[in-house]
Amino acid sequence: MRLGLFGGSFDPVHYGHLVLAESCREQCGLDRVWFIPAAAPPHKLQRELSSPAHRVEMLRLAIGGHEGFELSTVEIDRGGVSYTIDTIREIRRQQPHAELYLLMGADSLVDLPLWRHPGEICREAIPVAVRRAGSPEPDFSLLNGVADDRRLEDVKRCQVEMPLVGFSSSEIRQRVQQGLSIRYHTPRAVEKYIETHSLYR
């Protein structure tokens, strides 16, 4: 099985996340994409996230009905700071024969050498650099010394280009706080969930 791993805080999930995942599923020929909400992302420890229960339920609503999308609570179940390598190790135990693809924005690929155990990440999963239409290729030379030549070729081959979608979770939270509409920023079911539970106000 070709399994895409898509981690994030998803606070809230929006159409940009969904378009990214679908672009990767299609262009990389993935059988499944797992959405993996973080318990505590190491780069967002200064910001208080919505409860895991809310973020999980919004994801369920957003991806419901898509046969290729699934939700994994592996990081939330583990608790604590969510390091990518720990998640990959756990999923490798669950799916020993799967070919793993780590979905990330091209900007995150630049930071990958600074992550915890980047060499092991690259051995266990193929990093998939997702860039917006019309933007240049990332500088893959940054992975020299982290990934071997064969894996570097895999990374270059598995680039994904997605349509320009200008939504962000922070913008959605800000718009809700200001009483502005978030229609068409996120699926209608997620919009109603935010309204019903008075999130981000």
pLDDT digits (tens, 9 = 90+) for 159-183: 999 998 889 999 999 999 999 999 9
Return all residues near 146 (Cβ < 8 A) that are at least 6 apart.
112, 113, 118, 119, 122
The answer to whether 173 and 200 have CB atoms below 8 angstroms apart is yes
> What's the whole-model pTM score?
0.94
pLDDT at 94: 94
Region 116-131: what's the mean pLDDT?
96
Share of residues in the chain with pLDDT > 70 (%): 97
pLDDT at 40: 80
- For residue range 27-82, what is the model confidence (pLDDT) as tens digits? 999 999 999 999 987 765 557 899 999 999 999 999 999 999 999 999 999 998 88
Query: Structure tokens of 111?
Result: 């930071």
pLDDT at 164: 85
Question: Of 143, 68, 78, which Cα lies nearest the Cα of 89?
Answer: 78
What class has domain 2-193?
alpha beta
pLDDT at 133: 83
- Sign (positive/negative) of CA torsion 120, 30, 106, 8? negative
Residue written as tokens 């973020």?
55
Cα(109)–Cα(155) distance, integer angstroms: 10
pLDDT at 165: 86
Q: Domain ranges in the chain?
A: 2-193
Burial status of residue 62 (CB atoms within 10 A of its CB: 0-12, 13-18, 19 or more): buried
pLDDT at 41: 72
